[in-house]
Structure 1
Amino acid sequence: MPKYLVQASYTAQGAGGLLSDGGTGRVEAVRRVVASCGGTLEWLAFAFGETDLYCVIELPDDESMAGVSMTVRASGALQSSVVRLLTPEQIDTAARLTVDFRAPGT
């Protein structure tokens, strides 16, 4: 299953929910959301600064990730970005591709 790195920053509304639910409560909420689309939460960590939360999740496909992302962002509780993660084997396959590319100016 594809893996995704999610980085999120809480809005004032979302920070209030975090204060109310606590960190463990929010971890369980993330687990439920991901499981509802057939995925698993691999790990989650809170941080401070510009980004409040980092997690790695596994979902069946990109459409599932898009659905989770749109639904959660629509709540207004956070802003997020998602990075699709690749395995070393996927990079090996990509490195063996023949790519017809010419750099600008060459």
Structure 2
Amino acid sequence: MPKFLIQATYTPEGTKGLLKEGASGRRAAVDQVVTGLGGQVEAMYFAFGEDDIVLIVDFPDPVSMAAVSLAVKAGGALRTRATPLLTLAEIDEATRRQVAFRAPGR
């Protein structure tokens, strides 16, 4: 399954929700959303600094990740970014593919 790194920052409204529900309540909500689309939460951590939450999730396909991202962003309580994660084997495969590319101006 494709794996994604999700980094999120709470809006003031989202922070109020976290204070009300606690971390366990938010984890349960995340698990429900991810498993509802056939995915799995590998790890979820709260942090401080630029990001408030960092997750690693598996989804059956990138469209499922996009669906979750759109729903979460539409809710207005979080600003998120998702980064596809690739295995070493996937990068090895990518290095073996021929790509015809011409840099601008060359």
Give TM class, smaller chain: over 0.9
Give matches, 1:8-47, under 5 Å: 8-47=8-47
Give matches, 1:65-80, under 5 Å: 65-80=65-80
Using the aligned pairs only, state the percent identity.
50
The number of residues matched between the two structures is 106
- 2:61 maps to 61
- Residue identity matched to 2:60: P
Q: Which moved more, 1:7-16 or 1:19-28?
A: 19-28
- 1:50 maps to 50
Measured after TM superposition, the shift of residue 7 of structure 1 is: 0.4
Measured after TM superposition, the shift of residue 105 of structure 1 is: 4.7
Alpha-carbon distance in structure 2 between the residues aligned to 1:82 and 1:89: 21
Alpha-carbon distance in structure 2 between the residues aligned to 1:69 and 1:103: 33
The TM-score, its normalising length taken from structure 1, stands at 0.95
Kindly indicate whether residue 83 of structure 2 is the aligned counterpart of residue 83 of structure 1.
yes
The alignment's C-alpha RMSD in Å is 1.0
Unaligned runs of 5+ in 1: none
The TM-score, its normalising length taken from structure 2, stands at 0.95
Unaligned runs of 5+ in 2: none
3-state SS of paired residue (1:9): strand
Alpha-carbon distance in structure 1 between the residues aligned to 2:78 and 2:104: 39
3-state SS of paired residue (2:63): helix
Measured after TM superposition, the shift of residue 104 of structure 1 is: 3.9
